[in-house]
A = this chain, B = another copy of it.
């Protein structure tokens, strides 16, 4: 029978997530072991297996605890200047991916998403989808204001913006810099902008 969540030790939960994230930074995802997490957290192995189905699930929860974002606070500022607003998010994403503290956890999640489809779904819904929806919302506002083409598929538009960033980060084709962020933003905006008036 499933364990009773009301009797769960919050203390242990915190210790496990902290230990997991710390160890992840220290040794990398591949060498991260449940055994080590339990030892570092001062916790029995069973306590981990009782509440999480896999190493990836622990790391996912660890990531969520680490960023600890309110999904409602995710909405982008709307200064009326789409270009400036997008430039801001894109730069923020690049900063997050380049941050050596966070990127280890993100990469770990990426790895696990390749093999564990169930976890991939959760990660997508809890982490990626909200961020992308926030960007889509800002784009829709601009679209309504006539600053962007009316016939845009916003989902694709968002990926045109962030796809190149993840491409560099994951495939390591070149360093992920702020300059790259800006170049990508500019190019993408040109694609999304209103049809040039033909005569």
* Chain A 108-135 interface mask (CB, 8 Å, partner B; 1/0): 1011011101001100100011001000
- In the bound assembly, the distance between CA atoms of A195 and B108 in angstroms comes to 42
Q: Are B172 and A117 in contact (CB under 8 A)?
A: yes
Q: Are A114 and B153 in contact (CB under 8 A)?
A: no
Task: List the B side residues contacting A129 at CB < 8 Å.
Answer: 173
Asked whether A156 and B184 contact (CB < 8 A) given A30-B115, A111-B111, A163-B164, the answer is yes
The answer to whether A160 and B156 touch across the interface, beta carbons within 8 angstroms, is no
Give the oligomeric copy count.
4
Cα-based distance from A187 to B161 in the complex (angstroms): 11
Q: Which of B110, B153, B172 contacts A124 (CB 8 A)?
A: B172
Q: Count of A residues near B, CB < 8 Å? A: 46
Q: Shortest Cβ distance from A89 into chain B, in angstroms? A: 15
B124 in contact with A114 (CB, 8 Å): no
Q: Tell whether A90 is near chain B: CB-to-CB under 8 Å.
A: no
Within the complex, what minimum Cβ distance (angstroms) separates A143 from chain B? 14
Interface residues of A in 147-177 (CB under 8 A from B): 153, 155-157, 159-160, 162-168, 170-174
Q: Check: A188 CB closer than 8 A to any chain B CB.
A: yes
**A111-B114, A191-B191 are contacts. A167–B171 as well, Cβ < 8 Å?**
no
Task: Give the most central of A157, A168, A173: most B CB within 10 Å.
Answer: A173
CA distance A87 to B123 in the complex (A): 31
A107 near B: Cβ within 8 Å? yes
Residues of B close to A180: CB separation below 8 A: 156
- Cβ of A63 under 8 Å from chain B: no
Q: Are the CB atoms of B164 and A159 closer together than 8 Å?
A: yes
Q: Report yes or no: A155 in contact with B174, Cβ–Cβ below 8 A.
A: yes
Interface residues of A (CB under 8 A from B): 28-30, 107-108, 110-111, 113-115, 117, 120-121, 124, 128-129, 132, 153, 155-157, 159-160, 162-168, 170-174, 180, 183-184, 187-188, 190-192, 196-197, 199
